[in-house]
Amino acid sequence: MTASEMKKYAAIAKKRRWMRRMILFALVLCAAFVLTERNFKPLVFSLAEARSASMASQVLYGALAEAMEEGVTYDDLMSVHMDDRGQVALLSANTMAMNRLADRAGQAALRRLGDMSSERVSVPLGAALGLTLLAGSGPEVPVSIVPIGSVATEFATEFEACGINQTRHKVYLQLTASIRIVIPTGAKTTNVSANMLVAESIIVGSVPEGFVGYDLSEAEMNLVQ
C-alpha cells in the first residue's frame, strides 16, 4: 500500500469515526430531549393550567360584575305570592329577566375570554423543577389560552335560616367556560367556573309551601353561541 493510499484510508477512517460520533451525539441528544419532555410536560401543563384557570376565573367574575352593572334586584328575578293569611305561599322565578341577565353575563364572558386569548402568558421552565431557587429562572414556555365553544350559564338558589320565622333566600348565577391550554408540546382542555350572588331577600313568616324553580334545558342554558 502506497503512502498516498494510506493517507486516503486514514482520512476515510477519520471521517467515519467523526460520523459515528455525530450520530451517537444526536442519539444521546434525542434521548435526553424525549426523557426531559416526558418528565417535564405534565409539570409544565399543571403549572400552565393553574395560571390559565386563575386568569379565566378572574375574567368570568369580571363578566358577572359587568352584567350586574345595570342593577338587578330580588324583585326583578323572583315573585313572592301570599296566601289569604298574608303568609308567603309560593316563590316563582321571572324566567325572562333571568334569561336577559344570563345573556348579558355570557356575552361579556365570551368577549373578555377572547381578549384574554390575545395576551401573552408564559411559564418559567425552572418553575417546573419544583425548586424554590429556580422558580423564576430558565427559558419561558409560551402558553396560549383559547376559549372553546359557548359559555354555559346556570342559576341556583339557596334557603338559609337567619332567625325566628325568617329565611334568607339567595339567588346565584354561575358561568362555566371551556378553555384550551396550548403549549409547544401539546394541548389540554379544562373547564373554569365562577359563581356570584346576584340577589337575596329575607322572607318573614312561615317557610313557603312551594317554589317554582328556574329549570332550563341544556340548549337554553348555553345562551351564547
Task: Evaluate if residue 24 carries a pLDDT over 60.
Answer: yes
Exposure letters 148-178 (e unless 16+ CB within 10 A, then b): eebbbbebebeeeeeeeeebebebbbbbbbb
Q: Which strands form 88-93's sheet, in the order they lie side by side?
A: 78-82, 88-93, 210-212
pLDDT classification of 224: cutoffs 50, 70, 90? very low
**End-to-end CA, the chain:** 82
Q: Which helix (H) or strand (E) holds 104?
A: helix 95-117
C-alpha–C-alpha distance, residues 148 and 135, integer Å? 30
pLDDT category at 9 given cuts 50, 70, 90 is low
- Contact between 193 and 174 (Cβ < 8 Å): yes
pTM of the model: 0.66
Does the CA dihedral 49-50-52-54 come out positive or negative? positive
* Separation in Å, CA 213 to CA 137, 141, 156, 173: 53, 47, 9, 14
The radius of gyration of the chain from alpha carbons, rounded to an integer in Å, stands at: 30
At 65 the pLDDT is 92
The sign of the dihedral angle between the CA atoms of 93, 94, 95, 98 is negative
Q: What is the pLDDT of residues 168-213, one digit of tens each?
A: 889 999 999 988 888 777 788 888 999 999 999 888 765 555 555 5
**198 neighbors 101 (Cβ within 8 angstroms):** yes
**pLDDT at res. 114:** 84
- What is residue 66's predicted lDDT score, i.e. its pLDDT? 92
Largest CA distance in the chain: 123
Which amino acid appears at position 104 of this protein?
R
pLDDT at 27: 82
DSSP run (H or E) holding 200:
strand 186-204
